[in-house]
Amino acid sequence: MSSPRCGVQDAWGQRVSRHRRKKRYAHTGEKWHKRHLTYRIMNGPRNLSPSQVHVAVKTAFQLWSNVSGLIFQELQHGPADIRLAFFEGEHNDGTGNAFDGPGGTLAHAFFPFRGEAHFDMSERWTLNGLKGHNLFLVTAHEIGHTLGLVHSPVRHALMSPYYKKMGSNTLLSWDDITAVQQLYGKPPGDSVQPLGGRALRWTMQDWQIFQDSKGGSLTPHYCQGYFDAITTDEDGTVLVFQGSRFWTVSNGSVSAPLPLQMRWPQLSLAIEAAAFSPLDSKLYFFKGRRIWRYSRSDLDPGFPMKSSDLGLPNHPDCAFFYHPLGHMVLFRGSRYYVLNLESLSVEPYYPRALRDWKGLPRGLNGALTRPDGKLYFFKEQQYWRFDPEKVRITAAGRWTESLPWVGCHTTPSLQGNDIL
């Protein structure tokens, strides 16, 4: 029985064995003559919800924008550059493009400028790849065709005629990346962020679990007591980050886990700190030696920047906007730094000793300011509430039990240990 493959003909004129190697013809020469492309999901398969299809398709487009100069925008109505639709059998593409039922050809697409990708409705589509065909991977492959990429003879390339499985390695090979960059250039700042299969597989599995458990009491993974960072966005929604995923929490209601780079293109996975600034309505992310700044979902020009260029340390523990100072504060080990967001430089006479913040431990993994002005600091399963007016800790406890706005509050009777 033949392996499922793409219905697009191979560039060398015939379908070839997976084990046969040919010279690489990276692309057709046809390409879009713009960098901002729109797409629209026309319909979806029977066994996946619209939200599942949305996350699979958006993440598939993100896979390509992370390594190229392209920007993709989803449209709900009207004409779009790229349209994705599900059909059965003959669907007015000619008999040669008719779908053949379960197995065999899963999908096909057209090069610019037709901008269409068609998927076999009769297949069993999934997000985790355990029973059926991974919609994310197949969509990512077909998007490559709509951008002008042909099939690759490189065995492990995403653009191989035969669909690859979701392994732990980076999904785009050097061949895929070179091909798309020949057509559309590199991303801003040459910040290439290829996505790994393991992280994306976790994300897709989380979405599958979320859909299968609707109506149940399943709590987010971070409620087990650990997350990478926490902050709010411009709308006051709490954002919780863990690995390749993030959750939104609003009025105690938690979203499904979402791919980090679906909302913030080119952002590195497993960030170390995040903070929202009400001064400029921007989100700041920190990891390793770099800083990212976003206006909603758009990476600001000139970013990511090196932490050292701003006088900041590498690998910060946490970051937050501190209203009494009107600046951003970062903790690192036994010291803290105050960052002037207008000059993007550390304020004079900093860093200072962390003991200025009496009662706070080292190694915090998150901090944010609530609407009442109180600061909340997190370390593993513990939290500390800091009152800027009293300049001291006023409450502490287990955040999974005591803070319903974090999204894990399953026992309303449990409260934090209020000090004053």
Active site residues: 142
Q: Residue 158 corresponds to which tokens in the numbers above? A: 């995403």
- Long-range contacts of the stretch 322-328 (C-beta < 8 A, 24+): 322/369, 322/375, 322/388, 323/369, 323/373, 323/388, 324/388, 326/279, 328/275, 328/277, 328/284
Is the separation of the CB atoms in 40 and 74 below 8 Å?
yes
Residue with tokens 């309303």: 412
Is the separation of the CB atoms in 65 and 72 below 8 Å?
yes
